[in-house]
């Protein structure tokens, strides 16, 4: 049962990291197109950097959720503060409309990433319990 639980936890981590990549970039592109924020050639060549940062972030969110749940909100607050401070000057340089739009799009992407990890992390223990009960019932039936 331990190996199964460990395998399910690893699958949960991997799902938390990669599932949001299926829809978050599409949502961000939709909003950028709506606000008419064009990506320069330089930014399009560096697209992998935010994607990889997203993988690292979601890994940290997942690990913190499972192993430091009592400090999760503190970690989240510090991490978001670091992200906002790091991007603050870039948002201010574009003027009111586009800078604010970039900030809102950034927050939408970050929020969706956090929500995805939390939903998957909340479902994981339920699956462990469900499969554990299922395994016990199937073992008793075979005996």
Which structure tokens are listed for 53?
A: 């940062």
Please tell me the pTM assigned to this model. Answer: 0.79
pLDDT for the residue numbered 95: 64
For residues 95 and 135, which has the higher predicted lDDT (pLDDT)? 95
Percent residues over pLDDT 70 in the chain: 80
For residues 38 and 127, which has the higher predicted lDDT (pLDDT)? 127
3-state secondary structure the chain: CHHHHHHHHHHHHHHHHHHHHHCHHHHHHHHHHHHCCCCCHHHHHCCHHHHHHHHHHHHHHHHHHHHCHHHHHHHHHHHHHHHHHHHHHHHHHCCHHHHHHHHHHHHHHHHHHHHHHHHHHHHHHHHHHHHHHHHHHHHHHHC
Question: Is 24 a residue whose pLDDT tops 90?
Answer: yes
Domain ranges of the chain: 2-39+47-142
């Amino acid at each position: 049962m331990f190996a199964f639980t460990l395998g399910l936890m690893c699958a949960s981590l991997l799902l938390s990291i990669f599932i949001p990549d299926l829809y978050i970039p599409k949502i961000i592109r939709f909003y950028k197109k709506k606000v008419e924020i064009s990506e320069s050639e330089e930014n399009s060549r560096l697209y992998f950097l935010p994607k990889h940062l997203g993988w690292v972030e979601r890994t940290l969110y997942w690990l913190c959720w499972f192993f430091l749940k009592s400090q999760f909100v503190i970690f989240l607050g510090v991490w978001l503060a670091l992200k906002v401070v790091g991007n603050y000057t870039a948002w201010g340089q574009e003027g009111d409309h586009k800078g604010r739009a970039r900030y809102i799009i950034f927050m939408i992407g970050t929020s969706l990433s956090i929500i995805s990890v939390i939903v998957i992390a909340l479902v994981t223990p339920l699956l462990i319990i469900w499969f554990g009960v299922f395994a016990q019932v199937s073992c008793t039936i075979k005996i």
